[in-house]
Structure 1
Amino acid sequence: MSSAGPVPKRDVEKEANVSHEATSRPGSDRSLDNLDLSAKLQNPLAGRDRGTLEADAISFCETHGLMEYVEDYKKGAVLAAFPHDAEKFDGLTPEEVTALRNEKTNKWKQPWQVYYIAIISSMAAVVQGMDESVVNGAQVFYYARFGIAGNSNTDVLIQGLVNSAPYLCCAVLSCWLTDPINRLIGRRGCIFLSCVIAGLASIWEAFTYSWPQLFVARFVLGLGIGPKSATAPIYTAECSPAPIRGALVMQWQVWTAFGIALGDIISVAFGGIEDNVAWRLMLGSTVVAPIIVCAMIYVAPESPRWYISKGRYVDAHASMLQLRSTPLQAARDLFYTNALLEAEADIQRGRNLALELFRVPRNRRAVKASCLVMFMQQFCGVNVIAYYSTSIFLQAGFSRTSALLVTMGTGLVNWIFAAPAFYTIDTFGRRNLLLTTLPLLAACLLLTGFGFWAPEGPARTGIVTTGIYLFMVFYSPGEGPVPFTYSAEAFPLYIRDLGMSLATAVCWLFNFVLAISFPSLLRAFKPQGAFGWYAAWCMIGWVAILFTLPETKALTLEELDLVFSVPTIRHAKYQLKNSIWHFRRYVLFQRNLKPLAPLYETKDLVSS
C-alpha cells in the first residue's frame, strides 16, 4: 500500500502560525507547541540579518577565547543562517568556494578523520554482532558441559536464561546508563569503556565452569552492549558533514550484520576441536575486536557537540578543524551547533521531558510508532535464527559440522542483503518496506516450520535451509535497518535522546523475551508451532503498521510534527479507505476511481 502522500508546505506554515497564537493562551495544547519548537530547531539562526549574525559571531569568539578565528566565524555565521546562498556570499577565498561547492557536487571528498570515525563505529558494530552471534555455535557445546542439554522444563529455561542474559541487562540497566555515561566521559569514553567491558566479559565467559557463572558473565557483557549500540551511531552522526551523514550512520546496521556473520565463521573455525575447548575459544575470541576499537578510538577526535556541552569551546574548535575541509566550514558548523544546543536548552528549561513523552499527543504517537517497529524487529523472529539456528539445523538433521557451516551461510546472507537498504530506505520508504517484507517473512517462517514435517533427510534439510536463508534475504533491507532509522527521526529534537533511549530499551527487552522463551516454545510447540507463532506475529505487525504507522521518509522537522499530530484513529480510518481504494483499483480493475485526498491536508489536525 502507498503512504498517505506528501505534506503540503503551506499547511505546515499555517499550522505553525496557529501554534504561535495558541501558545500565548493559557491551557493551549502542548501538541501545538511542537510545531514552533521544531521550526526553531530546524534552523535556530533563521530570521537574523547579516549584521546581527556577524555581531553574534564576534561575541561568541570573545566569550569563548576564539578571537584569532573571528573572521572565519563571521562568515560562518552568515553561511549557517543562509546555507542555500553560499555561492552568492562575497568575501570567500577560492579554496572556500571550492570546498562549499564540493558539498553538493563532490560530497564524498572529506577529511580522512571523518571516515576514520565511521570505521570506528563500524568496528564497534562488528563487536556488537559477534557478541550476539558467537553464542549460536558455542551453546551446542556448553549445554552438555554444564549439564543443561536435556529437554526438561528446567533445562530449557536455563538455556534461554543464559543466552538472553546480555539483553536482560540492556533492557533493565545498561540502556538507561547511556546518557549519564556520555555526559560524564563523552562519546569516545563511552565507546572505549563499553568495549573494555565487552572484552573483559568475553574472557570471563571463556573461563566459566558452571551455568550460573556463565549467566553472570553474559549479564555483564550487556553493560558493554547497550551503551555502545546507542552511542556509536550518535558519535558518527555528530562528527559527519550533513551531506553524507545518513550513509555513514547506516554503516552501523551493515557492519553489525557482518559481525554476526563473523561470529558464525568463528564457530565453524573452532567447531572441529575438542568440545570443552571449542566453546571457550568461540566465546573468548570476541575479545579481539574490542581491543582494536579501544586502540583506534584512543587517537580519534571527540565529538565537537560534546565539547560544547561541557563549555570546552577551544577543544570543540580543534576537533571540528579535523573533521572539515576548511576552517570556514569548521567555524560555520561549530557556530550552528552551538546555536542549536542553546535553542534545545531554552526549550527544555522548566519542562519534565519524561512526562512529555506520554502527555503530549504528538510525542505519545511517536513513542507508540517507535516501540511498534522495535517490538516487531524482535518478534518477527530474526534473533531466533541469530541465536538458535545451529540448534535448529541440528534438529533438521544436519551433522554438527554441517549445522555450523549452514549457520555461517545465514550470517553471510544477512550481511550481503543489508546493502540494498542504502537505496531502498530513502526511496521506497520505511513504512512501505515493512508492509512489503513482513508478509514475506511470515511465509518464510511457515516454510521453515512446515519443513520439519518432511521425512528426515535431504528434503527436510533443504526446505529448512531455504526458508531460513530467504527469511534473512527479506529481513536485511526491511525490519533490519528500519526500526533504528525510524525511531531516530520520529521524535522532536528537544526530546529525541530520551525517546531513543526508550525505543532502544524496548528493543532489547523483547530481544531478551525472545531469547529466553524460544527453547521452551520449541519444546512445547515443536518447530512447526514455534515458527508459526512468529509468522503470526509478522502478520499482526503488518496490520498494526498498515493502520497506525505514519511514513517519515524525506520529511522535515515541521512536517514530522504535522504527521504525528494526526490522531491514530484518523490515520487508521484513512488507511482503511486507502486499502479499499487500492483493492478496487488494482484487484477489481475499477479504473475510474477518484484518488483519495492526502491525509495531511486536513485543517483540523490537533487532537485533544
Structure 2
Amino acid sequence: MIDYKVRVAEEYVTATTALQSGTTYWQRTKTLIAKGSYRRSIVTLSGFNTLLYYAGALFSLLGLTNPALGGLIPAGTNAFFVLVGMTLVDKVGRRGLLMFGVPIMLAGLVWNIVAFHYLCIPTGGFLDTSYKYDTKLVGIIIGGIVLFTTGFGLTYSHLAWYQSEFLALEVRSVGSGIATTANWLANLVVSVSYLTELETLTPSGTYGLYLGFSVVFFIFAVFCYPETKQLSIDETSLLFEEDWGVKRSRQMRQERQEAQRRLADSEMTEVATVHVQARKQKNSAVTRSEFNNFMGMMPKG
C-alpha cells in the first residue's frame, strides 16, 4: 500500500514537471494575470468598495438626514443581486453574465457622473455640506448608485471569487496569492484616495475615474476572458496554451455539445431498436398463440 502511494506521488510529480516544462514563463504568467488579478482588481477599482466604506460620508454630503441608513442601499442591493447572479451563473455562463451585467454597471457610473455634475453646479462642482441640494437630483444619484450596484452584484461581486476554477493544481496556490495581493493593493489605493478625489477631482471626476477603470477591464474581458461553462478543470487549464483562450473555449464547448448530441442520438437509436425488437417478439408471440388456438379447434382424427 505504501509503495503504491509513493508511486502515485512520483507519477504526479513527473506529470506536473512535464506540464510546466511544456509552457513558457510568459504563458504561465499571463494565465495568472488573466485568471486571478483581473477579476480581483476590478472588484475594488470599479469603486464599489468606496460605496460601502464611505456611504455614510457620501450621503451626509448629499444632505440626507440619516446618512448611516443610506449605507444599506448599496449593501442591500448588492446582496440581493449577488444571489440572482449566483443563480444564473451556471445557466448563462461566466462570460455571458459579464457581457450582460457589466454594461449595466457602466450605465450606472455614467448616470452618476452626469447627475453629480448637475447637482454640484451651484457649489462649483464640489460637494458642500452647508448647501441644501435639490432633493430630486439627490434621488437621481441614489438611483444611479442602485443601477451601478445592480450590475456589480450580478457580475464582479461573486465572479471575482471563482478564479480557482481557472487555476491548475500546480499553479493554484501561486495564482490565488497573486489575486489576493492584487485585490488588497487595489483596495488600499481606492480606500485611501476616495475622499481626496472628491475634493480634487470633484465627484463627477471621481466616478469618471472609476468608469475609466471599468471600461478598460470590460474591453479586456471581451477579448481575453474565456467562458468556462460546460468545461472541466482539466479542459480549462488548456485554454491559455496558445492565446487568451476565448476562441478555443468556444470551440471546446461546441465540440462537447456536439459530442453530447451524438451520444443522445445514439442512446435514442438504441432505445428505439430495443423497442422495435420487443414489438417484434410480442407480435411473434401473438401469432404463435393464435396458431395454437386455431390448431386446438381443428377436429382430431
Judged with a 3 Å threshold, the aligned counterparts in structure 2 of structure 1 residues 398 and 376 are, in CA distance, closer, same or farther, namely: same
Task: Specify the alignment match of 1:554 in structure 2.
Answer: 230
- Residues 207-241 of structure 1, C-alpha deviation per residue, up to 9 Å, x if partnerless? xxxxxxxxxxxxxxxxxxxxxxxxxxxxxxxxxxx
Equivalent-residue separation in structure 1 for 2:217 and 2:177 (angstroms): 22
Tell me the TM-score normalized by structure 1: 0.36
Amino acid aligned to 1:502: I
Q: Compute the displacement of 1:506 (Å).
A: 0.9
Q: Compute the displacement of 1:450 (Å).
A: 2.3
Judged with a 3 Å threshold, the aligned counterparts in structure 2 of structure 1 residues 357 and 434 are, in CA distance, closer, same or farther, namely: farther
Q: Compute the displacement of 1:566 (Å).
A: 2.7
Task: Specify the alignment match of 1:459 in structure 2.
Answer: 136
Where structure 2 has 5 or more consecutive residues not aligned to the other structure, the ranges are: 123-132, 256-301
Q: 1:535 aligns with which of 211, 222, 226?
A: 211
Equivalent-residue separation in structure 1 for 2:152 and 2:200 (angstroms): 26
Q: 1:417 aligns with which of 76, 81, 85?
A: 81
Amino acid aligned to 1:494: E
Q: 2:13 aligns with which of 343, 346, 351?
A: 346
Equivalent-residue separation in structure 2 for 1:356 and 1:368 (angstroms): 19
Judged with a 3 Å threshold, the aligned counterparts in structure 2 of structure 1 residues 358 and 444 are, in CA distance, closer, same or farther, namely: farther
Where structure 1 has 5 or more consecutive residues not aligned to the other structure, the ranges are: 1-58, 64-334, 576-596, 603-608
- Asked if 1:566 is matched to 2:239, the reply is no
Task: Specify the alignment match of 1:379 in structure 2.
Answer: 45
Task: Specify the alignment match of 1:367 in structure 2.
Answer: 32
Q: Compute the displacement of 1:345 (Å).
A: 6.2
Judged with a 3 Å threshold, the aligned counterparts in structure 2 of structure 1 residues 350 and 543 are, in CA distance, closer, same or farther, namely: closer
Equivalent-residue separation in structure 1 for 2:80 and 2:213 (angstroms): 26
Q: Compute the displacement of 1:421 (Å).
A: 2.6
Equivalent-residue separation in structure 1 for 2:228 and 2:180 (angstroms): 18
Equivalent-residue separation in structure 2 for 1:518 and 1:360 (angstroms): 34
Equivalent-residue separation in structure 1 for 2:106 and 2:240 (angstroms): 29
SS in structure 1 opposite 2:164? helix
**For this pair of structures, how many residues does the alignment match?**
239
Q: Give 1 or 2 for the bigger CA radius of gyration.
A: 2
SS in structure 1 opposite 2:242? coil
**CA contact 1:396–1:460 (8 Å) conserved in 2:** no
Q: Compute the displacement of 1:409 (Å).
A: 2.7
**CA contact 1:443–1:535 (8 Å) conserved in 2:** no
- Residues 234-263 of structure 1, C-alpha deviation per residue, up to 9 Å, x if partnerless? xxxxxxxxxxxxxxxxxxxxxxxxxxxxxx
- Asked if 1:438 is matched to 2:102, the reply is yes
**CA contact 2:168–2:234 (8 Å) conserved in 1:** no
**CA contact 1:357–1:499 (8 Å) conserved in 2:** no
Q: Percent identity?
A: 22
SS in structure 2 opposite 1:564? coil
Task: Specify the alignment match of 2:266 in structure 1.
Answer: none
**CA contact 1:357–1:364 (8 Å) conserved in 2:** no
Task: Specify the alignment match of 2:262 in structure 1.
Answer: none
SS in structure 1 opposite 2:228? coil
Where relative contact order (Cα < 8 A, 6+ residues apart) is larger, the structure is: 2
Task: Specify the alignment match of 1:14 in structure 2.
Answer: none
**CA contact 1:348–1:494 (8 Å) conserved in 2:** no
**CA contact 1:441–1:535 (8 Å) conserved in 2:** no
Judged with a 3 Å threshold, the aligned counterparts in structure 2 of structure 1 residues 557 and 599 are, in CA distance, closer, same or farther, namely: closer
- Asked if 1:449 is matched to 2:99, the reply is no
SS in structure 1 opposite 2:50? helix
- Residues 491-521 of structure 1, C-alpha deviation per residue, up to 9 Å, x if partnerless? 1112211211111111111111111121221
Task: Specify the alignment match of 1:521 in structure 2.
Answer: 197
Amino acid aligned to 1:440: I
Judged with a 3 Å threshold, the aligned counterparts in structure 2 of structure 1 residues 553 and 598 are, in CA distance, closer, same or farther, namely: closer
Equivalent-residue separation in structure 2 for 1:415 and 1:428 (angstroms): 20
- Residues 24-47 of structure 1, C-alpha deviation per residue, up to 9 Å, x if partnerless? xxxxxxxxxxxxxxxxxxxxxxxx
Judged with a 3 Å threshold, the aligned counterparts in structure 2 of structure 1 residues 410 and 357 are, in CA distance, closer, same or farther, namely: farther
